[in-house]
Structure 1
Amino acid sequence: MLILIDGEWCARVLQCNGLHELLIVTPHHRRHLPKMRAAMDGVSRAWELNSAEIDQKWLLAAVGAGKTDSWREGFGALVARLWARGQVDEADGFIRVPVRWGIDVSSLKPGNARKKPDCHRIRIEDTGQEFSCLSESSVLHGCVFAGHGVLPSGCHGGGCGICRIKVVQGRYACGQMSRQHVSDEDIAQGIVLACRIYPLSDLVFELAGKAASRVKDTNTTRVQSPRREQ
């Protein structure tokens, strides 16, 4: 099984080599490692030149829909082999996968390649800023990738809690978040961490926590600042 990250930084799963091994391939040069980390935020972590850790839940969702019981058993056997080799993090299920850069992907047969993810429009209610975000990318990643600095960026793993937002419109999938920063009651009210939600439709959200305070202080300062005399 191959995870192809193509020229448009879109991740697809190809099953052209069966369910015996797992490998990340990309036509990009290894000098693009920093951009690769940003492009794959939300589905992977710990990118290095020779390997990366892939979210097992994302991988299963990417290729598991509509598959037969025998296929799911084969996928489970693959994960078991990787676990026996020490490639699976027992705490959260992330899988350490080898990476091959500069691969000529034109020779790869698509096979059961997953379709490209949907793209949604995201609006920040506090500032009026808008950006596009793929359904596979976290809202935080989409915001940072668009060049908007209004959302603080920390661990990108749901642990630090500094990217709190309140979704007021739209649907989204929610990953694991630290309950020290987001309670069940918060989630019921749409308060989540931007690094751990993935849009399923266009979204509108409000800033929460430190980000909201910072924007409010900035707006207050602008209102109170006297105009310079000509």
Structure 2
Amino acid sequence: MRLIQLSRESLHFPPPEMALKEPNGLLAMGGDLSPARLLNAYQRGIFPWFSQGDPILWWSPDPRAVLFPDQFHLSRSMKRFHQRSPYQVTLNQAFSDVVQGCSERAEGTWITVAVKHAWQKLFNMGHAQSVEVWLNGELVGGMYGMALGQIFCGESMFSRSENASKTALLVFSQHFRRQGGKLIDCQVLNPHTASLGAKEIPRVAWLAWLNALAKQPVSAQCWQQQTLF
């Protein structure tokens, strides 16, 4: 199966089922990172991932890594840490700083200047969200991603201090669940997210969840700037 080249003139994507098996999930290349294209992609279970200097690559892997907020795994050590946590956790109060923190710790250089600009536009439009973890007024961790109804598509997270990114996901999961959120997309499973309860499901199951939940609302307060913890 050949890799499909996207044009800048059309927002059309091929069906995720047409993605390659090797490398797993590679679906198309080209296009751009306009807000309209990114929204169209995520609404279809597709996301961009590419390195600086390479063409934009679009992916929809099978299986897909997801986290159900009510299945978050809180280890005994993390529970003890959280009970005496020195951190403050906020929502949507330092989006660009969180993206920058993620870019400094991203494997390779996939959070490019163009990616940062694209996500800032999404944030300004109300589609992207960030979670910040603070220690004595200093940003030490966080995560960002896209809100799609009762699904949150997690894009990246970072940590500069012990358990900071785990705290971000823990506190956000609890908040998202209280506000009506049902599913967090983790894209590809890694040891960090697996340790917190993320698991792999078939792509067809992920697309079914996406179709069922992406247009279902969460509470009006879900994405307002606020302190979560």
| TM-score of the pair, normalised by structure 1 | 0.31
Q: Which has the higher contact order (CA 8 A, sep 6+)?
A: 2
